[in-house]
Structure 1
């Protein structure tokens, strides 16, 4: 991981939910696959439980793992008596005696694993904790369908914070082609203050990802371009992979 450890975006869990929550089609996508997998599910890099909790509310036995203690504290508060356990751990080194019918990462969390070693450790964790025939599901931005050019500060959007204020969101991007890593700086204008946070994401080509999955013991079942299950094409901005443990 990088010097700032990719955690600057996750210091304010309440406003994180307000900015990034509400992706109902995504939640439904993972719920449908959890039901089809017919067993307990594990979300790695679960954050505040934005996706974990809707599945638990639907009766899926859930475990959520994340490295950010502040995000997990908020997730536990929201969970109440739902059938979910939240564990503070690094997905690269997480160990449990449990085996899961489905393991997933969302929010493009796969791209936070910035080296070959990180990706290898992640896939080893997944393989070791899946039941025979269990599913790995995750999404990642497709470099062939993404503008990777450097950009100065541009407007990205806005959200309403926990105090009812409209927060304007903008940012910059700088791409390290040698390491296939995008450096994003997110700027938030809160009216009375302006904050910045940094995050790095690795872009893995379709061919390299396919080789990785096969090499670590996964068979690709389906690949989609969106949560409505539109078939993936080489120019799709998003790649959602549904894989089975071989």
Structure 2
């Protein structure tokens, strides 16, 4: 889903606050001079990295997301680029390149993800790393993408209460790789007729599938974690978190 509706962009940080994944990437970046945040969204991580003294480049295809990112505290210290991995040759060599927020799953075909990983490999200096996460298909996250299981209420920046839920349309085979399609609904309770919706499609890949793509892209070593506490991957892991060099 490309966040280009200003009302959805305004809700993005409410639904995706600073959390354990943010802390994981900040710790990973401690020794990095230049960090590239590919798919930076509203810039929460990028601006926090800049605050901590890193040189940061944030890249995202959504001008609305970048508008919010530029207005953040420390936003003037980040180089913002509207685009995708095709911009990487122009940003300078990175010590760390991150793709957070399950960005890797928006690449529905392997060729597209592989092309992005290859571009990242060329943009990372020797000794540097790429890091990203993808939902573990064995955890079957899509089973919770129903109104009954996913419904939550949040407060929008303008003070209005918003009900948010997902409805699944298609699910993947957890033993292989496949697509999940779902719609997220945003219902403003003060005006029930004012309900927004956005349909998304995500690709779920197994650890072996992701490892194969990283290897094909030229990464020789991959460290895997199954959660943000760096626990090893097992059958209960919600995430497949890769740090590859």
Asked if the contact 2:38/2:98 (under 8 Å) is kept, the reply is: yes
Asked if the contact 1:112/1:200 (under 8 Å) is kept, the reply is: yes
What's 1:163 paired with? 158
CA distance in 1 between counterparts of 2:82 and 2:75 reads 19
Pairing 1:69–2:63 present: yes
Which structure 1 segments of 5+ residues have no match? 1-5
Cα–Cα, structure 1 residues 219 and 121, in superposed 2: closer, same or farther, change >3 Å? same
CA distance in 2 between counterparts of 1:166 and 1:123 reads 39
Where do residues 30-179 of structure 1 align in structure 2 (5 Å cutoff)? 30-36=25-31, 38-80=32-74, 82-91=76-85, 94-96=88-90, 98-148=92-142, 152-154=146-148, 155-175=150-170, 177=172
Which structure 2 segments of 5+ residues have no match? none
SS of 1:103's partner is strand
More helix by share: 2
CA deviation after TM superposition for structure 1 residue 57, in Å:
1.0
What's 2:181 paired with? 183
Q: TM-score, normalised by structure 2?
A: 0.88
Residue deviations 1:150-205 (CA, integer Å, cap 9, x gap) = 96533332211012122111121122548711111001111102111111111111
Q: What is the aligned length?
A: 237
Q: TM-score, normalised by structure 1?
A: 0.88
